[in-house]
Amino acid sequence: MSLSGSREVSSDPVVRNDQECRVSSSFSLTGTDLTTDRLVLRPWSTDEIIAVLGDGRMAHWAEDFPAEGDRVIAGFIAGQSGEPGEHGHRLIVERESGLVVGSISLLWPPHDGALEVGYGIVASRRGRGYATEATRALVEFALSSPDVHTVYADADVSNPASVRVLEKAGLHRWSEDATTARFRIAAPDLAQR
């Protein structure tokens, strides 16, 4: 994987590099950035990955970024071979302040048309609906790919806030055990929201 931050965007007629286009009611796409009402979801830069892995700080990060999950993702990205394309791992940027407040990922490529979404918002920005807004946008974007028909996520039942994020983002609980609630949404479900 090249950690240059420059990514090719698919030749799908809905997605073109460096061209803004409307692909849903909840986000727009410019290059590889997804923009919602309050957030920008953009790929990690090489400098950000290096800073996170080296315990550095960048001026455009919220004071409590990165969280432990962000460190795990930075390590995962650094160890990847190949490009994730327009899908993959993104930072969540608060548009108003320009600060990175979390990260969100699609674990690409899809397996049998299904892929997993994961997210995290720093403690100082929780309770504002950012995780739901980011998850909804990335799920809609993922389901616009012809290679994806289902997006799924797991949430610890001991974390009701994460369960609510997935429910509000339109995913449906389809399985649960003593510790984990499993959620998913399929492309036809998206049209019914």
In 3D space, the residue among 134, 41, 28, 39 whose CA is nearest the CA of residue 95 turns out to be 39
Question: pLDDT tens across 15-51, in order?
Answer: 223 333 233 334 444 457 999 999 999 999 889 999 9
**CA 101 – CA 130 distance, rounded (Å):** 9
Beta bridge partners of 120: 103
pLDDT tens for each residue of the chain, 193 residues long: 233 333 222 222 222 233 332 333 344 444 579 999 999 999 998 899 999 999 999 999 999 999 999 999 898 888 877 665 556 789 999 999 999 999 999 987 778 999 999 999 999 999 999 999 999 999 999 998 888 999 999 999 999 999 999 999 999 999 999 999 999 999 876 555 5
Query: What is the DSSP code string of the chain?
Result: ---SS-------TT--TT--EE-SSS-EEETTEEE-SSEEEEEPPHHHHHHHHTT---TTB-TTPSPHHHHHHHHHHHH--S--TTSSEEEEEETTT--EEEEEEEEEEEETTEEEEEEEE-GGGTTSSHHHHHHHHHHHHHHTSTT-SEEEEEEETT-HHHHHHHHHTT-EEEEE-SSEEEEEEEHHHHHT-
- Supply the pLDDT for residue 88: 79
Domain boundaries 21-191, corresponding CATH code: 3.40.630.30
**CA 187 – CA 129 distance, rounded (Å):** 23
- Supply the pLDDT for residue 16: 24
Place of tokens 């390590």: 75
**CA 100 – CA 6 distance, rounded (Å):** 19
- Supply the pLDDT for residue 15: 28
**CA 49 – CA 125 distance, rounded (Å):** 21
Sign of the Cα torsion 88, 15, 46, 165 reads negative
The CA distances from residue 62 to 48, 52, 90, 157, in Å, are: 13, 13, 15, 28
pTM exceeding the 0.85 threshold for the entire prediction: no
In 3D space, the residue among 121, 141, 114 whose CA is nearest the CA of residue 24 turns out to be 141
- Supply the pLDDT for residue 111: 83
Domain ranges of the chain: 21-191
